[in-house]
């Protein structure tokens, strides 16, 4: 008798766990998001749901609007959302999604609802914005989503201390040609052709203690990111990488060596 009770307790516990990441019709209300893509002259509605004052968006419906490749595995509780500039991997019972080697915290779990995965709309759209060349704007109050031509295609920069040097990454919304020049006073000058950059935002950044200052310039046919490093005796190699599009610069020198590989936690939106 005691064994039977234990068996049913385990069954109910597993059932409760499996349903914790699932929406039911009693828990939520079906809604729609009005979506428009200006350059493609595309208008539609995207399936969504609301639970606990949070809007969740159907990834299947969103993928159709974005012309993305959507590969859900409902039984395994995971999926991939592929866009032109990269793929987003996700799991049902986790608030973390992954693009390439980088993880992001979208605050709430992705959940299943009527045979589809639904993601918290606002934070998921912020992630998707990293992988499309256009600007994307979402209003949770108005339940509207709009995509329009981007003002900038040089969009972000990160600096990480690694085991044997420094890793600088300049993020783009699309692949662009570039070159890099090192000056005698420790500046690394990255010229990005056909680049468009928010000069004020980049010039205010000091992403690591090994960086003295950064400056950004917009020219008629190019953008420039200038990074002044603390060390003077250093070498570097660079390459373009996809998923997402970025210029990756590995800097080696005594000023940037570290005995411990720095852990970079997932980015929280």
- End-to-end CA distance of the chain: give it in Å, rounded: 51
pLDDT tens track for 46-73: 999 998 889 999 999 999 999 999 999 9
**Among 136, 107, 214, which Cα is nearest to 170's?**
214
pLDDT tens track for 162-203: 877 889 999 998 899 999 999 988 899 999 999 999 998 888
Cα–Cα distance measured from residue 8 to residue 13, given in angstroms and rounded to the nearest whole number: 8
Cα–Cα distance measured from residue 8 to residue 24, given in angstroms and rounded to the nearest whole number: 23
Distance of CA 28 to the CA centre of its chain: 27
Angle subtended by helix axes 121-128 and 59-66, to nearest 10: 30
Q: Which residues, in sequence order, are bridge partners of residue 167?
A: 160, 250
Dihedral in degrees, nearest 10, Cα atoms 157, 161, 163, 165: 70
Cα–Cα distance measured from residue 110 to residue 140, given in angstroms and rounded to the nearest whole number: 17
3-state helix, strand, coil in the chain (%, to 5): 15, 50, 35
Say what the pTM is: 0.68
In the predicted structure, residue 258 carries a pLDDT above the cut 60: no
Cα–Cα distance measured from residue 119 to residue 217, given in angstroms and rounded to the nearest whole number: 37
Q: Could you tell me the pLDDT band of residue 99, with boundaries at 50, 70 and 90?
A: very high
Cα–Cα distance measured from residue 132 to residue 81, given in angstroms and rounded to the nearest whole number: 13
Cα–Cα distance measured from residue 227 to residue 84, given in angstroms and rounded to the nearest whole number: 29
* Domains defined along the chain, listed by start: 19-148 (no CATH), 154-268 (2.60.40.3500)
Task: Name, in order, each residue with C-beta under 8 angstroms of 207's C-beta and a sequence gap of 6 or more.
Answer: 157, 158, 159, 214
- Average pLDDT value for residue range 4-24: 45
- Name the 3-class secondary structure at 51: strand
Q: Could you tell me the pLDDT band of residue 38, with boundaries at 50, 70 and 90?
A: very high
Q: What is the pLDDT of residue 267?
A: 56
Cα–Cα distance measured from residue 92 to residue 117, given in angstroms and rounded to the nearest whole number: 8
Say which residue the tokens 């190019």 belong to. Answer: 222
Dihedral in degrees, nearest 10, Cα atoms 226, 232, 237, 242: -40
């Amino acid at each position: 008798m005691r064994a039977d009770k234990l068996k049913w307790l385990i069954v109910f516990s597993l059932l409760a766990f499996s349903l914790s990441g699932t929406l039911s019709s009693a828990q939520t209300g079906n809604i729609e998001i009005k979506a428009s893509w200006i350059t493609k002259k595309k208008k539609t509605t995207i399936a969504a749901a609301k639970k606990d004052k949070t809007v969740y968006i159907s990834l299947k419906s969103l993928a159709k609007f974005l012309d993305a490749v959507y590969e859900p595995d409902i039984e395994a509780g995971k999926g991939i959302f592929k866009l032109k500039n990269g793929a987003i991997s996700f799991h049902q019972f986790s608030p973390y999604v992954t693009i390439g080697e980088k993880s992001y915290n979208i605050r709430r779990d992705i959940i299943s609802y009527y045979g589809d995965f639904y993601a918290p709309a606002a934070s998921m759209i912020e992630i998707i914005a990293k992988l499309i060349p256009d600007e994307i704007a979402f209003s949770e109050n108005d339940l509207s989503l709009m995509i329009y031509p981007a003002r900038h295609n040089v969009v972000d920069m990160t600096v990480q201390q690694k085991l044997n040097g420094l890793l600088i990454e300049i993020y783009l919304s699309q692949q662009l040609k570039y070159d890099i020049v090192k000056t005698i006073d420790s500046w690394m000058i990255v010229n990005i052709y056909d680049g468009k950059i928010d000069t004020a935002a980049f010039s205010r950044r000091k992403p690591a203690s090994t960086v003295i200052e950064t400056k950004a310039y917009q020219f008629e046919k190019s953008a420039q990111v200038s990074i002044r490093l603390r060390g003077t005796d250093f070498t570097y190699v660079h390459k373009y990488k996809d998923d997402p599009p970025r210029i990756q610069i590995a800097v080696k020198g005594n000023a940037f060596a570290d005995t411990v590989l720095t852990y970079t936690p997932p980015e929280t939106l």
